[in-house]
Structure 1
């Protein structure tokens, strides 16, 4: 008996490994397709629900779909209500695992082909190219899923007649609540509602539990999966925490609704006694109450979103609020979040520069604001450094290279903003004051305008202007130095100031250049040599 229990647990482990490898393989094969589909077809909560359900059913992973949606919200590519549609739909997509397991794992005998598939997948993984290795990983995962089901079926069959529905809470109000608690516990242990559903299907097939008991347990498994979401979003970005709370509220509401559907559904099945297979009836119930839940909640998505936003306030500084450690599992989503934080920091830096150039004497508020910008630069740098390493030819890698360029120029620009003496000396020189005002206007425009090829070209022209003015001013002030009898320290400070203006304009140009490539997904380009 103990050996059968151990074998059943091993079967559950094989199933979980199969799910993990299948998902990893499919995600690798999908590449940018998932992101393109979610961004292209998610225009409303309804289209988001359909897209989320389809993507999750294909990838066999609601977390992959949800993390991508969170990244889009953080980057401003999707609104929170649109992302809610994806999250709702992902709940429907996860029920596809139960259908596949029931039809292919329990109704068809795939035991004889699973081991050959594992061998083929392993060979492809070991000796194939990049794409063939991913196919091998997915194929091995697919085979392990059904091998695990086969092991669970054979192990639990030993309990037939020994463990019966009488050993579990009965189909009463209190019994149903206890069964829901058992379902929650199973999901907390396995960290997968799909594994719990498969275990319930295997126990149902072995006669260890009856259909009403299995349905109550499945409700608990659907609610229990929210614990994984909560753990994954603790300490995360504002978008992630709102997503986690949305998942908890929605699944709990759906679970309450499913609880009240138990009695009418059981009565309906009783009327069709003998005509509907119990395992089919169980997965139909699982999909059914999730579909009904989405249909009920979709008309109220905007109100639901407002409630969640009210409950989860944005506690971040505003510059790095898009960053969250939960996104590091998905490099493309993490890159989107980093770009959002970089955009906010670049805009803040440009606004600060415009203000400081217009008011050369710094205030305590100026220093506080500059410290916030410096802190944001450090936070973004740590986050980008934590993004997992990628292949050199991965499109995400090219965007990360541009992100590092932006961070480098931001750090240099931040340092120049601390050189108060060079900014202050401009006020006493007519020519420097005029150049200062030109740069201040350019900074203010850059903070308000969307970065395009045209804005980059405009900043490049300003950079050329300041380069020429640097040389002209240097020649002018040195040629008049003796006649004007100016102190040597003041002359040096003015020369430093004009060089400061030129270098700031250069950093602003390079930031515009790399931010445009970040948003367009273009590879970073080396700057032309600076004369």
Structure 2
């Protein structure tokens, strides 16, 4: 008995390791192309469900599909109703593993053939180059998966005759409910519904459980994945928590539908008798009830989305709330979310600049730089944890642009604290005129959502302010020397025109990095501009 239990756990471990390696290799092979496919194939909930099913079937990982989708929602590249379609489809995609296990593992019994696959896969991983390495990883994982199935079957075969269906809860309402709960526990332990289905198939093959009992276990395994999804979203972004909660509600609904089908399913199985293959029937039932679940909800996806949004509302206007640590495993998805958050923060900062320069002298609105600073810190921490490199030059360039934009946003936040200079601008006639020019352009950035023409306009205004800064400094200091203006007032005016110039410079650079994106100027040019600005201080 002990030997059998050890063998079962060993087989389950090999299966899980094989799934992990195969998924990792397939994900590396797919790269960003699968993400682009998901993004471009979600115009309706139905097409979203189809793309989610295909992506999950190819990646053999519903979590990878779900996390990519959360990234799209966080970045504003996909609406929440569109994302729900993908998540519904991902449940169907996970059933492909069951078919693969039943047909190849139990029918064709390719466990012996799988061992040389592991050998060749490891060789490709160790000595291959480029895309051969992830291909080798996927092949090795594929082979290991079936070795695990063989080991599982061996473990259960030792128990054949010792453990029978009579040792499990019977085919009653209470018995079926107990089996569902057992299935939930198995998924919580293995953290994989596919591993649970493989275990149920192995137990069914040796007669340790009956078909109705296996069907109830599979329902519980499907529902058990919701616990993983729920735990993974704790402390995550609003998009992540909505996605996780929607996954929980949807799977519970699908599980309830499947539970109601157990009685007629038992009648059909009894009527079919020996003509029905139990392994094929089990994975067929798993697929069918997931298809029914999708068909039941896909037509009312928008209403379902509104319910989830109502239950999990947004906390407020903090752009950092869209950031999700789950996305950090997928740098491009994390960058999508970070770019959207930085863009939103930039709009708030540009709007603050516009507001303070348009206010009347006696009514300058109180801006909260502390709130901006807190969000900037959160954004910087998140960007620091995103790992990009030379293997993906486009993502690396995008990463660098976001870091540059955030650096200028930090400096702009400090400028907003200088209320004395802002007040001088509002009380000095010719400076007020310049302030209104900058206010109008900053406001256009907020309204235009980043027009490609704005960086050029900011640059032109920056150059005009640089010349005006030189003239104001010269004229004002001359007036102070001739007692035409007080020295303190002269210094205040010089500081204020410098404030306008430097603020415009930061707005320009932020707009360049966010609007032009990867086509904007390189970091070396940024350093040259910084040197130019330092020289302008004198």
TM-score when scaled to structure 2?
0.94
State the partner residue of 2:48: 48
Cross-structure match for 1:231 = 231
- Give the stretch that moved more between structures: 370-379 or 382-391: 382-391
Deviation, 1:183, is 0.3
Tell me which residue corresponds to 2:446.
Answer: 447
- Flag the 1:522–1:460 CA change in 2: closer, same or farther, 3 A: closer
Assess, with a 3 A threshold, how the Cα gap between structure 1 residues 216 and 489 changes in structure 2: closer, same or farther: same
User: How far did 1:361 drift?
Assistant: 5.5
Distance 2:66 2:487 in 1: 63
Give me the whole-angstrom Cα distance separating, in 2, the residues matched to 1:252 and 1:499.
61
Residue equivalent to 1:254: 254
Go from structure 1 to structure 2 and tell me whether the alpha carbon gap of 1:155 and 1:373 turns closer, same or farther (over 3 Å shift). same
Q: 1:523 to 1:439 in 2, by over 3 A?
A: closer
Are the counterparts in 2 of residues 70 and 239 from structure 1 also a CA contact under 8 Å? yes
Task: Tell whether the 8 Å contact from 2:15 to 2:146 is kept in structure 1 after alignment.
Answer: yes
**In structure 2, how many angstroms separate the alpha carbons of the residues matched to 1:427 and 1:446?**
22
Preserved contact between residue 74 and residue 340 of structure 1 (Cα < 8 Å): yes
**Residue 126 of structure 2 aligns with which residue?**
126
Output the CA distance in 1 between the equivalents of 2:362 and 2:268: 76
Q: How does 1:364-513 map to 2 (within 5 A)?
A: 366-367=366-367, 369-513=368-512
2:503 and 2:479 map into 1 onto residues whose CA distance is 26
Distance across 1 between alignment mates of 2:449 and 2:17 = 45
Question: Aligned partners of 1:331, 1:523: CA distance in 2, in Å?
Answer: 22
1:402 touches 1:523 (CA, 8 Å); kept in 2?
no
Measure how far apart 1:344 and its partner are.
Answer: 1.3
CA contact (8 A) 1:517 1:524 kept: no
Pick closer, same or farther for the CA change 1:148–1:399 going to 2, 3 Å.
same
| Deviation string, structure 1 residues 357-388 (Cα, Å, up to 9, x no partner) | 12266979624x32221111111111111224
Residues 356 and 364 of structure 2 are in contact (CA less than 8 Å); yes or no, is this contact kept in structure 1? no
Native 8 Å contact 1:352 1:370 kept in 2: no
Q: Which moved more, 1:416-425 or 1:279-288?
A: 416-425
Instruction: Work out the CA distance in 1 between the residues paired with 2:92 and 2:339.
Output: 31
Partners of 1:398 and 1:521 within 8 A in 2: no
Per the TM alignment, residue 131 of structure 1 is displaced from its structure 2 partner at its CA by 2.0
Deviation at 1:392, TM superposition (A): 4.9
CA positional deviation for 1:389: 4.8
Gapped regions of structure 2 (runs ≥ 5):
534-538
Instruction: Please report the TM-score for the alignment, with normalisation by the length of structure 1.
Output: 0.96
* Deviates further, 458-467 or 88-97: 458-467
* Alpha-carbon displacement from aligned partner over 1:225-283 (angstroms, at most 9, x marks no partner): 10000010011111111111101111001001001111212222323222221000000
1:426 and 1:80 map into 2 onto residues whose CA distance is 44
Q: Does 1:12 align with 2:12?
A: yes
Give the aligned partner of residue 187 of structure 1. 187
CA distance in 2, matches of 1:89, 1:383: 30
Residue of structure 2 in register with 1:106 after alignment: 106
Describe the shift of the 1:66–1:355 C-alpha distance in structure 2 as closer, same or farther (beyond 3 A): same
Q: Distance in 1 between matches of 2:377 and 2:359?
A: 26
| Cα 1:291/1:277, change in 2 over 3 Å | same
Q: Give the distance between the partners of 1:58 and 1:324, measured in 2 at CA.
A: 24
Counterpart CA distance in 1 for 2:89 and 2:114 is: 31
CA shift, 1:449, in A, is 1.0
* Correspondence for 1:87: 87
Q: Closer, same or farther in 2 for the Cα pair 1:141/1:522, shift >3 Å? A: farther
2-side partners of 1:286 and 1:228: how far apart? Answer: 19
Is the aligned partner of 1:222 residue 2:222? yes
CA–CA distance in 2 between the matches of 1:372 and 1:361? 24
1:27-176 alignment runs, 5 A limit:
27-176=27-176
| Cα drift, residue 19 of structure 1 | 1.0
Cα distance between partner residues in 2 of 1:219 and 1:227: 14
Check if 1:343 corresponds to 2:343.
yes
Distance across 2 between alignment mates of 1:6 and 1:116: 25
Q: Any conservation in 2 of the 1:401–1:524 contact (CA below 8 Å)?
A: no
- SS of residue paired to 1:273: helix
Q: Distance in 1 between matches of 2:64 and 2:29?
A: 13
Structure 1 residue 355: Cα displacement: 0.8
- Partners of 1:353 and 1:440 within 8 A in 2: yes
For the residue of structure 2 that corresponds to 1:313, the secondary structure is coil
- Structure 1, unpaired ranges of 5+: none
Aligned-pair CA distance for 1:129: 2.1
Count of residue pairs the alignment pairs up: 529
- 8 Å CA contact 2:361–2:427 kept in 1: the answer is no
Q: CA 1:151–1:401 in 2, change beyond 3 Å: closer, same or farther?
A: same
Note the C-alpha offset of 1:501: 0.9
Whole-angstrom CA distance in 2 between matches of 1:28 and 1:10: 27
Q: Return 18-27 or 116-125, whichever deviates more.
A: 116-125
SS in 2 for 1:314: coil
Tell me the equivalent position of 1:297.
297
Which residue is equivalent to 2:536?
Answer: none
Residues 397-429 of structure 1, C-alpha deviations (whole Å, 9 max, x = no match):
221111101110000111111111221112332
> What's the offset of the Cα at 1:395?
2.7
